[in-house]
Structure 1
Amino acid sequence: MNMDLATIRIKNLRLRTFIGIKDDEIQNKQDVIVNVKIQYQAEQAAQSEDIQDALNYRTITKRIIELVENNRFSLLEKLTAEVLEIASEHKWVSYAEVEIDKPHALRFADSVSLCLSCSKNIR
């Protein structure tokens, strides 16, 4: 069987971090909502059921949580880029996308979000 890419989605990971440049943002943690999409060839994992043949989304999620909650960020761009680096670092990953929402960043808007993605040629 020739399988397409598998897509892992980490949806609405709700975390707290220091994000922003205003005094209250520097002094108080804020909510952020992280969404991650990772694509990789999962044919071997689908046939073997061996965890060693699969991309471990739990490990990736734990690393994202540690990064976000234990650091400070001035810019949403920097935070999103660092999460994307974690999401895309495994050699099997051919595509990764990260969107991070900052709720209540603007008056009259539910949130502001930033999305970054990267593609890799896998051989």
Structure 2
Amino acid sequence: MSSNAIISITNLRLRTYIGFNEEEKCKQQDIIINAEIHYPANNLCLADNVDSAVNYKDICKSIINHVENGRFLLLEKLTSDVLGICADHPMVCFAQVKIDKPHALRFADSVSLTLSYKADDGANQ
């Protein structure tokens, strides 16, 4: 029987340059990141060995560094980049990232984009 461990990063609130309008290029905006990372809950990760685990602290630090030091025209590019960071560990079999851009539309609380990654069958066995 196999099962997945699931890491959830919930409501990571950061600021970055996102958008292509002049005001957006000159002023950082708030974004909210939610990420879900799946990997096999096998003996490697259950052995209580840090070196064989998917390290969510390292993932989060990489996301923060990339987002806060980057400039993005499109929400699609930013979301794709963050998804790539989440899926970078060889044990990851599935990852999904949703990024919200609050106040992007006048009468809406937020605009968001969600992307997901699924490893090829057999790639992470």
TM over 0.5: yes
Q: Distance in 1 between matches of 2:61 and 2:85?
A: 10
Q: Distance in 2 between matches of 1:31 and 1:56?
A: 25
Any unmatched runs of 5+ in structure 2?
none
Name 2:116's counterpart in structure 1. 117
Moved more, 66-75 or 34-43: 34-43
Counterpart residue identity of residue 18, structure 2: I
Name 1:11's counterpart in structure 2. 10
Moved over 6 A (4+): none
Q: Distance in 2 between matches of 1:49 and 1:99?
A: 29
Q: Secondary structure at the match of 2:59?
A: helix
Name 1:70's counterpart in structure 2. 69
TM-superposed CA distance for 1:108, in Å, is 1.1
Q: Secondary structure at the match of 2:89?
A: coil
Residue 23 of structure 2 corresponds to residue 40 of structure 1: no
State the aligned residue count: 121
Alpha-carbon RMSD across the aligned residues, in angstroms, is: 0.9
* TM-score, length of structure 2 as denominator length: 0.93
Q: Distance in 2 between matches of 1:74 and 1:80?
A: 11
Q: Secondary structure at the match of 1:93?
A: coil
Q: Distance in 2 between matches of 1:33 and 1:21?
A: 19
Name 1:82's counterpart in structure 2. 81
Counterpart residue identity of residue 69, structure 1: E
Any unmatched runs of 5+ in structure 1?
none
Counterpart residue identity of residue 95, structure 1: F
Say if 1:42 and 1:54, in contact at 8 Å, map to a contact too.
no
* TM-score, length of structure 1 as denominator length: 0.95
TM-superposed CA distance for 1:3, in Å, is 4.2
Q: Distance in 2 between matches of 1:19 and 1:43?
A: 39
Identity of aligned residues (%): 50
Say if 1:32 and 1:101, in contact at 8 Å, map to a contact too.
yes
TM-superposed CA distance for 1:43, in Å, is 2.1
Name 2:54's counterpart in structure 1. 55
Counterpart residue identity of residue 42, structure 2: E
Counterpart residue identity of residue 12, structure 1: N
